[in-house]
Amino acid sequence: MINKILEIVRKELPSATIDTRITHVGSLATIGVIMEIEDEFDIEIPDEAIDQVQTVGDIAVLVADRV
């Protein structure tokens, strides 16, 4: 799962790792990444949860909690 998440994130941040902070990425890019992850894993992540995301690892936790 984490490898697929990293693959998606690396479309916007090519050198991303699990610890990469994604808060500096433009909000539209972040939304695009989240939407692609939701589609890939057939889940929905609430906006409130997305607002709390700081790192790629945070995204992985959100996904793990929903699959």
pLDDT at 22: 82
Query: What does the pLDDT look like over 21-51, one tens digit per residue?
Result: 887 656 777 888 999 999 999 999 988 888 8
55 bridge partner residues: 21
pLDDT at 63: 95
In angstroms, rounded to a whole number, what is the distance separating the alpha carbons of residues 46 and 11? 22
Domain 2-66 adopts which CATH fold? Answer: 1.10.1200
pLDDT at 4: 96
- Check: pTM over 0.75? Answer yes or no: yes
In angstroms, rounded to a whole number, what is the distance separating the alpha carbons of residues 16 and 7? 9
